[in-house]
Amino acid sequence: MISFFRGGRNIPLGFPAGVGMRGIAERLHELTAWPAKVLFPPVCAGCRRLVSAPGTLCGECWPKLRLLEKPWCEVMGTPFSHDMGEGFLSAEAIANPPPFRRARAAVSYEGVAQKIVLGLKYADRTELAPWMARWMARAGAELIADADLVVPVPLHPRRFLTRRFNQSAELARALGRLSGLPFAPDAVRRVKKTRQQVGLGAREREDNVRGAFRVPSDADIKVRGRQVLVIDDVFTTGATVSAVSRALRRSGAEAVDVLTFARVLPGDFRVEDPTTI
Ligand SMILES: [Zn+2]
């Protein structure tokens, strides 16, 4: 998974004696791949240092990515420091049962993970989406196994016009390709232009997205009686994915699960932190 860029690449101009047909084919492949690498050299998703393949981290950034692993809360996917036994729930899940069945995230939203998320969101680094989706598939394997379709958190059409890019849709599309699940970008629509969630407290976030999503009547048939997997880039307080889940349940979805690339762990949320989006 991890790869390193070790200085310049040697591109041989001739073939040494004794190289078989397969060797020649491999070298030809290297030669044809070379111009693309020179024109668009792959850079580390965390620090933009050169790496050998698109969507990889350099040796320095890799250890800074905190993958979320079991044991975790069966509902919220937040990790426990030690194994509490099968089916044990976090205080968060018990105090505020969410409208979704389960949430999972691949990494903790800090440091390098923030740079990756912001790179996809604002720097149009679309090449990161398939790579991020692979980590999401790992964390959300159980959710994917149960799902009938993947649905991204939609942007308001006007915001989509100005940004022309919905990072959640890119992740959902990549995850659909990876898992073979149908990708349904129009299953949920954002009907209210909401404020950006940055800088809002947990309660304000909830108010901001209340009634913001709806399943359009022509998409009703896609979600009724189905198990829907909602995709977003970051789970912060869960206000947005909860509002999307409620809209889906109102339209008859049998169950809704939520899979994000990153997750702000309980206790890490700071209103004043501009990176908690
Ligand atoms: Zn790096």
What pLDDT was estimated at residue 274? Answer: 54
Cα–Cα dist 120/277, whole Å: 13
Per DSSP bridges, beta strands 213-214 and 189-190 are antiparallel
Q: How far is the CA of 61 from the centre of ligand 1 (A)?
A: 4
Q: Which residue has the tokens 């850079």?
A: 43
| Cβ–Cβ < 8 Å for 238, 105 | no
Confidence tier at 30 by pLDDT (50, 70, 90) = low
Per residue in 112-140, pLDDT (tens digit) is 999 999 989 887 788 899 999 999 999 99
Whole-number average pLDDT of the chain: 84
pLDDT above 60 for 75 = yes
CA 56 to centroid of ligand 1, rounded, Å: 9
DSSP state of 32: H
Q: Read off the pLDDT of residues 216-243 as tens digits, 9 standing for 90 and up.
A: 999 999 999 999 999 999 999 999 999 9
Of all residues in the chain, what percent carry a pLDDT higher than 70? 83
Is the pTM for the entire model greater than 0.95? no
| pLDDT for position 126 | 85
Query: Does residue 10 register a pLDDT over 70?
Result: no
In the numeric block, the tokens 């209103």 are attached to: 271
d(CA 48, CA 167): 19
**Taking ligand 1, which is a single-atom ion, which protein residues have CB atoms under 5 Å away?**
44, 46-47, 49, 58, 61
CB crowding 242-252: b at 16 or more within 10 Å, else e: bbbbbbbbebe
Using the 8-state DSSP alphabet, how is residue 256 labeled? E
Distance 50 CA to ligand 1 centre (A): 8
pLDDT computed for residue 147 by the predictor: 98
Of residues 183 and 38, the one with the higher pLDDT is: 183
* Cα 42 to ligand 1 centre (Å): 11
Q: From the CA of 167, how far away is ligand 1's center (Å)?
A: 21
**Cα of 68 to ligand 1 centre, how many Å?**
20
Angle formed at CA 231 by CA 229 and CA 237, multiple of 5 degrees: 110
Is pLDDT above 80 for 170? yes
In degrees and rounded to multiples of 5, residue 132 shows phi and psi of -65, -40
Q: Separation of 138 CA from ligand 1 center, angstroms? A: 22
Distance 66 CA to ligand 1 centre (A): 14
The rounded Å distance from CA 131 to ligand 1 centre is 15
Give residue 6 CA to ligand 1 midpoint distance, Å. Answer: 13
Tell me how far the alpha carbon of residue 265 lies from the centroid of ligand 1, in angstroms: 23
Q: How far apart are CA 155 and CA 138, in angstroms?
A: 26
Residues 83, 144: Cα–Cα separation, whole Å: 24
CA of 32 to the centre of ligand 1 (A): 26
**Residues 98-115 as b or e (16 or more Cβ within 10 Å = b):** bbbbbbbbbbbbeebbbb
User: Regarding predicted confidence, which is higher, 4 or 147?
Assistant: 147
pLDDT digits over 185-200, tens only?
A: 999 999 988 888 888 8
Q: Give the pLDDT confidence score for residue 17 in this predicted structure.
A: 43
